[in-house]
Amino acid sequence: MKKISVIGMGSWGTTLAILLAEKGFSVTGWEWIKERALKMQEDRINKFFLPDCAFPENLIVTNSLNETVSSGDIIVIAVPSQFVRNTISKAKSKLTHKYIVSVTKGLEIDTLMRMSQVIIDETSAPPENIAALSGPTHAEEVSKKLPAAIVAASINEDFANEIQKVFMTDYFRVYTSSDIVGVELGASLKNVIAIGAGIADGMNLGDNSKAALITRGLREITRLGVKCGANPHTFSGISGIGDLVVTCESKYSRNRFVGEQLAKGKTLREITESMEMIAEGIKTTQAAYKLSRKMNVEMPITNEIYNILFNNISPQIGLKRLMTRSAKSEDEF
């Protein structure tokens, strides 16, 4: 059986490490905080993010990044998007010839790159050795073995099929795709719209507003995705509308929580300082705003969420500006 290494033992990284270990793979997980790594290895549980799931015997946790990378045939990248480049740079010579799966959802602010692009740029790994694994899969539910579906995307069809086999279980169904651009953009941009959904919830705007936000948000995501080279049909699938809906509706969504707290009057700093885990949508909003302007793509919802987050525009003003835009046909792409 293959040896698999998971870089990042947050809730999602830990969930996947346990899933893979329970399938019989030899799994090594890397935790960046040494004391936490020691505690996980000693207690055989991640009490920080997943306290109800014991580690199988064939899952070990270490603070040594080089040891983790060296021990894996397949490397799973599960650190927050803004830390991916810095993390892999410390072991990039060992990563060049590895097979790599990114489960991170986000865009790099400085370069506007997707995570697979960051990995290729930093490690010089062949694009055909890279895959993205993404979908509506909150760790809190997958760790309980509740049924879920996800997409493994790679320009290398054989590698996508291999990742499908590696990760699929009777509760975790994996589909394949060759559209890694669309899968990664859908995964990233839905977090922006989820902040908007949280704002709608915090303002008690009701179901009609939420439905309009989700559908028009999907149109924005698709518009930018197609301009970046994605297949438009990807956004009507699991990694598109599927991930968007769950992130906008779920009680587990950190991005929805951020929006809800903003609408209730808390500052962004107050919200983020109270959170143990990172809400990827905050940084992704900055990147999406910059990318939409670079690509000359109209994204009014994203623009207003950006203004609320970073320009001190109130949710009430942002909503009014969206609702009073010039009239349009829904067919306008």
pLDDT, one tens digit per residue, over 210-227 is 999 999 999 999 999 999
3-state SS record for the chain: CCEEEEECCCHHHHHHHHHHHHCCCEEEEECCCHHHHHHHHHHCEECCCEEEEECCCCEEEECCHHHHHHHCCEEEECCCHHHHHHHHHCCHHHHCCCEEEECCCCECCCCCCEHHHHHHHHHCCCHHHEEEEECCCCHHHHCCCCCEEEEEECCCHHHHHHHHHHHCCCCEEEEEECCHHHHHHHHHHHHHHHHHHHHHHHCCCCHHHHHHHHHHHHHHHHHHHHHCCCCHHHHHCHHHHHHHHHHHHCCCCHHHHHHHHHHCCCCHHHHHHCCCCCCHHHHHHHHHHHHHHHCCCCCHHHHHHHHHHHCCCCHHHHHHHHHCCCCCCCCCC
Residue 84 pLDDT more than 70?
yes
What's the pLDDT score for residue 276? 80
Task: List, for residues 184-203, the tens digit of each pLDDT value.
Answer: 999 999 999 999 999 999 99
Residue 261 pLDDT more than 80?
yes
**Residues marked as catalytic:** 190
What's the pLDDT score for residue 297? 97
pLDDT band (50, 70, 90) for residue 1: low
What's the pLDDT score for residue 278? 85
What's the pLDDT score for residue 333? 58
Domain boundaries, the chain: 3-178, 188-323
Task: List, for residues 19-49, the tens digit of each pLDDT value.
Answer: 999 999 999 999 999 999 999 999 999 999 9
**What average pLDDT does the chain have?**
96
What's the pLDDT score for residue 210? 96
Q: Can you identify the CATH homologous superfamily of domain 188-323? A: N-(1-d-carboxylethyl)-l-norvaline Dehydrogenase; domain 2 (1.10.1040.10)
Residue 99 pLDDT more than 90?
yes
Task: List, for residues 61-79, the tens digit of each pLDDT value.
Answer: 999 999 999 999 999 999 9
What's the pLDDT score for residue 21? 98
What's the pLDDT score for residue 134? 98
Thinking of the domain 3-178, which architecture would CATH place it in? 3-Layer(aba) Sandwich (3.40)
Q: Is the dihedral of CA 255, 116, 144, 47 positive or negative?
A: negative
In the chain, % of residues over pLDDT 70: 99
Residue 277 pLDDT more than 90?
no
